[in-house]
Structure 1
Amino acid sequence: MEVQYHKFYSPSLNRDMECKVYGHAGRPVLFIPCQDGRFFDFENFHMTEVWSPWIDSGEVMVFSIDTIDSETWSNKSGDPRWRICRYEQWIQYITDEMVPFMRNMANERNGWDGYPRILVFGCSLGATHAANLYYRRPDLFDRLLALSGIYTTEYGFDQYMDDLVYANSPVHYLANIAPDHPYIDMYNQQKSVICVGQGPWEIPDSTWQMKSILESKDIHTWVDFWGYDCAHDWDWWYKQVTYFVPYLLG
């Protein structure tokens, strides 16, 4: 498996950011680590082994990035307005800097000439971020795999609400999306999966909310609830990746 390390300055965040790339060709995949996670977690937690059939065959290239959760969602003692502004800068880093980087590499490696869209994947709080990116920007992300996430900003910001918190809380903004919004057609031409277990350490409440909202808006996302033995842990996420990725790549 080809592995690359990259470090470059982010104008959006005013700091250096690091990432790793796994694979030599194929569809670009953005992996967002769990809460407070780092760019090397995809490898350190053995997701490389689970994804290796698709990486080694040249079906996907996985780009694993850093979170800044310690400054934003996890920083409960910080000023909430500052924290959500900082989070929005991280979103801009992904959409304005990482997406072009990923597209350029995918075009170069595959001999493409265009604007390939991206599968975004995460577990736990990484799933929260992944779903937010997918539903906010279906023009950039055409596949979603969100495992064991929470889809309301209340997890990081409690009852605080402003324009940016709202804009990053899928439970809130999808509930109010207009029936004729063009994004609904885009979602329905794409593939998305939200999955959560109902066992130890899982919090399925907001996934139930998402299911209800998505159905009421006729947004076609596969929302799947696994059993009461399914825990909030890597061993279950490995099984879910193996189960859902063939559907998403098909």
Structure 2
Amino acid sequence: MNERYFKWYSPNLNRETEMLVFGHAGYPVVLFPTSMGSFYENKDMGLIESVRWYLEQGLIQIYCPDSIDKDSFYNKHIHPYHRIENHDWYDKMVCHEIVEKIKHNSPSGKVIMAGCSFGGYHAANFAFRHPGYVSHLFSMSGIFNIKSYLDGFHNDTVFYHTPDNFLPGFNDYELWNMDIVLGTSNWDICFDANLKMSKVLSQKIWDTG
């Protein structure tokens, strides 16, 4: 199984960032780590090995970027304004430094977004904010509201990084071209969040009927 390591200076983050890429060809999948996880987490936890056949057959390529959760949502030493600002720069990094460079590796000119837990938030938040770049979303036990990480602080940036807030009024037609899977279970602590998001998406279908 082909594996490559990348490290580069990110002009959006104003620091170096890292990423592992698995597979030699195929549909591009951006797979985020869980809360405060690193770019090698999905490999270490066996998730990459579980899809070895698809990678070796050249059906998919998986891109595992590093996270900056420790410097954004989980950094209680800085003001919430700077937490969400740092996350906004991370969103720009993923968009302009990764997705825009790999999207043409697929027939659709789009990518798949995926992640578990807080990685599910990253995948869903990016997909819903930038539906023109995303053909499929797989959010597994994800959350869709990050206000609890910001100590009550709110501004437009917070709003537009909180999918269950901005989606009801968001009408980009590309949303209807996306296949969306919200993975959860009865014992998932994020079950209610996923149920709520499912209702938000279902309501949009009825509204545009």
Superposition TM-score, scaled by structure 2 size: 0.93
Task: Tell me the equivalent position of 1:38.
Answer: 38
Matched, 1:150 2:133: no
Task: Tell me the equivalent position of 1:126.
Answer: 119
Q: When the two structures are aligned, how many residues end up with a matched partner?
A: 206
1:121 & 1:215 partners in 2: Cα distance? Answer: 20
Task: Extract unaligned runs of 5+ from structure 2.
Answer: none
CA offset at residue 158 of structure 1?
Answer: 4.1
Provide, for residues 174-221 of structure 1, a one-character-per-residue CA deviation record: whole Å limited to 9, x for no partner: 1223xxx2x2x322222111111221x6222221211121111118xx
Classify the secondary structure of the residue corresponding to 1:39. coil
Task: Tell me the equivalent position of 2:51.
Answer: 51
Matched, 1:141 2:128: no
The residue type paired with residue 186 of structure 2 is Q
Task: Extract unaligned runs of 5+ from structure 1.
Answer: 220-250
Structure 1 residue aligned with 2:161, among 168, 181, 187? 168
Task: Tell me the equivalent position of 1:78.
Answer: 78
Structure 2 residue aligned with 1:215, among 194, 202, 205? 202
Matched, 1:189 2:177: yes
The residue type paired with residue 43 of structure 1 is K
CA offset at residue 22 of structure 1?
Answer: 0.2
Whether the aligned pair in 2 keeps the contact of 1:28 and 1:118 (CA below 8 Å) is yes
Provide, for residues 116-141 of structure 1, a one-character-per-residue CA deviation record: whole Å limited to 9, x for no partner: 21001000000001000000001111
CA offset at residue 156 of structure 1?
Answer: 1.9
The residue type paired with residue 174 of structure 1 is L
1:68 & 1:154 partners in 2: Cα distance? Answer: 17
What is the RMSD of the two structures over their aligned residues, measured on CA atoms?
1.7
CA offset at residue 169 of structure 1?
Answer: 0.2
